[in-house]
Structure 1
Amino acid sequence: MRALVAVDGSNTAETALDWYLECLHKPENELIIAHAGEPPSIPTFKLFAEGAAFPSDEITKIMAEQNKKMDKVKNKFALKCDQKKLKYKLVFMMYDGEPGESIIRTAEAEKCDAIVMGSRGLGAIRRTILGSVSDYVLHHSKMPVLICPKK
């Protein structure tokens, strides 16, 4: 079995990985750890005339900060997998569109059999207004999805 565990830097994502390892994982399974990171937002200022470029040093700084955040998440989950001597693959990418779409596309591209992810535990009203990545994946995936609730 190939299982994709969708992660971010949250404790809920770590709980989802822990649950998968305790309850579903078998030594012959292949684990895909996927993170669909939000692309950095490059601020636009009215001070810049139409056609003027945003300062390249500022763009470099924003990109470096985003890469640092992704590396922190990557290292956290790689360390956990290495300690448990798991057969795993890290797939970290910036999403284009919605993060739920990226998770599903990654699971399909990696030929996964199931998706495991955490839920932030939004209430019905907040989920309706803000949307929910886990809700999106649950309703749009063609493969089984297991959602671990927030502790």
Structure 2
Amino acid sequence: MTLRQLGFLGTALGATFGLMVGSASAQSVPAGSYLESCREVRDVAGWLKASCRDRAGRWVDATMAIAWCAPGNDIVNDNGRLVCGGAARLAPPPPPTTPSMIERPPYGSYMASCRDVRMVAGWLKATCQDARGRWVDATTAASWCTGGRDIANIDGRLTCR
């Protein structure tokens, strides 16, 4: 084989491998009817993110915590919003049982008005909207809110109530 043929073979193998990697990452998102009307679907640290069509045909950014939807329930595109279909809609996630689940952000009403939600060494961190609609950084210790109490976004601050 000539150097030129080897170069072409390497390029072809690289492109094939790139397609395989791309399709493998697409398989990591949960199944659901939303896949019929959403694109750029990805799982980002337990959050399902996509661009979904609304009723007017526009592409809208949509986000939903995967833990909101119990296994086996359909995830639906509802006018550009990702929602869980079935009776388990917005059910809190199960209590942590494995190290990988412990760092999953806790359920709370703050999820409706915060983004970039993550757990860092027991601290819940997010970017939340304040009363004026500005996005501000917010942090709270997840362990401070126990006993089924809600973590809420109050004017850009994460608060237990």
Give the TM-score normalised by structure 1: 0.26
More strand by share: 2
Larger Rg: 2
Between the two structures, name the one with larger relative contact order (CA 8 Å, sep ≥ 6).
1
TM-score by length of 2: 0.25
